Structure 1
Amino acid sequence: MKWRLKKPVVLVGMMGAGKTAVGTHLARVLAVPFLDSDDEIVKAANMSIAEIFARDGEPFFRQKESQVILRLLAGPPGVLSTGGGAYLAESNRKAITASGVAVWLRADVDLLWQRVRHKTTRPLLRTADPYGTLKTMLDSREPVYAQADLVVDSLPGLSIDAMAHRVIDALETRPDVLERK
């Protein structure tokens, strides 16, 4: 099956929702570029996100993140994976809606925890109670993520390929974004 992507697809949601894994596969299936805003920030800063947080703080990171997202949205249509906090900024939401389509990969806290609990690259989870922190973050962010144009549920046991095809099914409801060739 061949598709034509007309606008950037921006994957939003919590850390561990599968934005990078699903996004990489989705881009491959759609034969479009895949970009990860976190990777682009790391390349530009020549340091890890954890190092940026430690050295410059979260507000500085969020400012750079917004600049990178604007730059990536201006490129050719592709799949863009964003950091978990990127969609929280109203300016980012407006830019994404103006240039592309936001797809929330929605996952419950237990699935997210299963995926992130052993990772040391999550600066926001470096707390005394990382599970509690994750749950609090999810509870506070869900109303913002719910503003996304499309929602695709991430369920335990679904393969990356199955999730990518669920996203394609959702995108096909938007002929302004994706059409079959």
Structure 2
Amino acid sequence: MLQSPSSHPYPRTITLIGMMGVGKSTIGRRLACRLNMPFSDSDIEIEEAAGQTISEIFARFGESHFRDGERRVISRLIAGEPKILAVGGGAFMDEETRQLVLEKTLAIWIKADVDVLAERITKREDRPLLIGHDIRTRLQELAAVRDKFYAMAPLHVWTGAQPHEEMVDAIMMALPR
């Protein structure tokens, strides 16, 4: 893990929430380096635990089964040492997962306009909730449902086309000391 000599680990897990494509994983890795903390991505941890991709889990078992496993993995990750944790876009929709994140971590909602998300997501084909849908329309539908839940996070940071390092700077400035 890259470390900055002037950085100090944050005393609790910081969980990055928000829509798919907003940059939680990329921003999270950079934030973890800046804060001298480990980084975990719940989607990667789920795939490793299941021995399948998220798309395969969705196709084989459905979203409900996936969310149950996601909740267990996130609970395990939160119970460990403080870290930067990026969670999937739908994780925060599960009431138990949401309560766990809000009670045990500092949740940060990384927000972006649907146009920004659509631009980023069109480059990837592994988003099960988008298969068979117009990407922009589906993102608008998901945001209409999810944003009120994401808004429960104590910190909100907007992202757009700026470099990820600027997002890390914005989060660093927003962190309570």
Q: TM-score range by the shorter chain?
A: over 0.9
Partner SS, residue 92 of structure 1: helix
Look up the match of 2:166.
162
Matches within 5 A, 1:21-60: 21-60=26-65
Could you tell me how far 1:170 is from its partner in structure 2?
1.1
Look up the match of 2:130.
125
Opposite residue 16 of structure 1, the aligned amino acid is G
d(CA) in 1 for partners of 2:7, 2:54: 36
Identify the match of residue 144 of structure 1 among 149, 162, 175: 149
CA deviations 1:60-116 (Å, max 9, x no partner) are: 000000000100001111100000000111211211122111000000100000100
Computed over aligned residues only, the root mean square deviation of the Cα atoms, in angstroms, reads: 0.9
TM-score by length of 1: 0.92
Opposite residue 160 of structure 1, the aligned amino acid is H
- Which consecutive unaligned segments of at least 5 residues does structure 2 have? 1-5
Structure with greater contact order relative to length (CA < 8 Å, sep ≥ 6): 1
d(CA) in 1 for partners of 2:29, 2:50: 22
TM-score by length of 2: 0.94
The structure 1 segments of at least 4 consecutive aligned residues displaced by more than 6 Å after TM superposition are none
Look up the match of 2:19.
14
Opposite residue 169 of structure 1, the aligned amino acid is M
Opposite residue 166 of structure 2, the aligned amino acid is A
Could you tell me how far 1:8 is from its partner in structure 2?
0.2
Look up the match of 1:99.
104
Opposite residue 80 of structure 1, the aligned amino acid is L
Contact 1:127–1:133 (Cα < 8 Å) also in 2: no
d(CA) in 2 for partners of 1:37, 1:128: 25
Look up the match of 1:87.
92
Could you tell me how far 1:14 is from its partner in structure 2?
0.2
CA deviations 1:104-129 (Å, max 9, x no partner) are: 00001000001001211101001242
d(CA) in 1 for partners of 2:54, 2:129: 11
d(CA) in 2 for partners of 1:31, 1:111: 29
More displaced stretch, 129-138 vs 60-69: 129-138
Residues matched between the structures, number: 172
